[in-house]
């Protein structure tokens, strides 16, 4: 089973502020679970959520050829 992480553990894992995760969880933007008065996050759901927001690097961005005039 996928481990449930605290906001602190996710923050440490990604190098962000703990409150950032609470803010996004409270708006429903980031999937989370309220268990016994504390908020928990599934690692796989956090990683999938991040993957949806990934910006391609310059090397991955296809170049667009301009048509000849």
Residue 11 belongs to some domain of the structure:
yes
Structural domain span for residue 45: 4-52
Residue 69 belongs to some domain of the structure:
no
Look up residue 19 and give its two tokens.
């409150």
In whole angstroms, give the CA distance from residue 31 to residue 22. Answer: 11
Residue 39 belongs to some domain of the structure:
yes
Look up residue 1 and give its two tokens.
């089973």
Cβ neighbour number for residue 45 with a 10 Å cutoff: 16
Give the pLDDT band of residue 11 (cuts 50, 70, 90): very high
Residue 16 belongs to some domain of the structure:
yes
Q: What is the mean pLDDT of residues 13-17?
A: 90
Asked whether the predicted pLDDT for residue 42 surpasses 70, the reply is yes
Residue 48 belongs to some domain of the structure:
yes
In whole angstroms, give the CA distance from residue 16 to residue 10. Answer: 8
Number of domains in the chain: 1
pLDDT for res 3: 86
Q: What is the mean pLDDT of residues 21-29?
A: 89
């Amino acid at each position: 089973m996928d481990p449930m992480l605290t906001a602190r553990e996710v923050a440490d894992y990604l190098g962000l502020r703990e409150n950032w995760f609470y803010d996004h969880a409270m708006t429903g933007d980031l999937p989370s679970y309220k268990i016994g008065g504390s908020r928990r996050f599934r690692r796989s759901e956090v990683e999938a959520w991040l993957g949806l927001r990934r910006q391609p690097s310059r090397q991955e961005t296809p170049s667009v050829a301009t048509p000849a005039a």
